[in-house]
């Protein structure tokens, strides 16, 4: 499945985010990617209580029910965290971030419907 063009720039934006918060910096104009270092495939799991079955349905649901959805992250600033924050930024969805000490705790919270979404690396999901 082909990623949207704006998602391919996530790695570039992540590098420039902290610098641009304190300075007037346009990371797209100021920085140029020179090499692809890694691919980080992620899977977005949802609790069965969430009525959405596609990403489009999930975005529509999150927009219709602001603040109702929450997602777990194994650590602040992780790829999992940045992915959902970028998705929120692109779509305008209101989804609450809940930090956990690690992936097992977040996965358990997902199963108990304490959080509704959990992005996790594909290698951990299989």
Please report, for the chain, the start and end positions of each structural domain, with discontinuous segments joined by +. Answer: 1-39, 41-125
Pair of tokens at residue 5: 């063009």
* Per-residue model confidence (pLDDT) at position 66: 93
Backbone angles phi and psi of 102, in degrees to 5: 180, 175
At 109, the pLDDT band (50, 70, 90 cuts) reads: very high
pLDDT digits (tens, 9 = 90+) for 8-64: 444 444 444 554 455 677 777 888 888 888 777 888 999 999 999 999 999 999 999
Q: 109 with 100: CB under 8 angstroms?
A: yes
User: Is 41-125 a domain of CATH 3.40.1130.10?
Assistant: no
Q: CA 115 to CA 67: how far, in whole Å?
A: 12
pLDDT at 93: 92
86 vs 123 pLDDT, higher one: 86
Would you say the pTM of this structure is higher than 0.85?
A: no
- Residues 57 and 105 sit within 8 Å (Cβ to Cβ): no
The reported pLDDT for the residue numbered 122 is 73
**Other CB atoms within 10 A of residue 58 CB:** 22
- Where is pLDDT greater, at 108 or 29? 108
The predicted pLDDT at position 81 comes to 86
Quote the percentage of the chain above a pLDDT of 70: 79
Confidence at residue 62, expressed as pLDDT on a 0 to 100 scale: 94
- The mean pLDDT of the chain is 81
CB 26: neighbour CB atoms within 10 A?
9
**b/e burial code for range 33-42 (CB count within 10 A of at least 16 → b):** eeeeeeeeee
């Amino acid at each position: 499945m082909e990623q949207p063009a704006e998602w391919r720039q996530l790695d570039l934006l992540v590098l420039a985010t902290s610098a641009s918060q304190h300075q007037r910096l346009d990371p797209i104009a100021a920085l140029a990617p020179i090499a692809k270092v890694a691919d980080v495939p992620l899977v977005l799991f949802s609790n069965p209580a969430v009525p959405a079955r596609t990403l489009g349905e999930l975005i529509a649901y999150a927009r219709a029910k602001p603040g109702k959805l929450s997602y777990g992250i194994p650590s602040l600033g992780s790829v999992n965290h940045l992915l959902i924050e970028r998705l929120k930024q692109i779509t305008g969805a209101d989804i609450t971030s809940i930090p956990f000490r690690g992936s097992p705790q977040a996965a358990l919270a997902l199963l108990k419907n304490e959080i509704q979404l959990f992005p996790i690396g594909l290698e951990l999901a299989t």
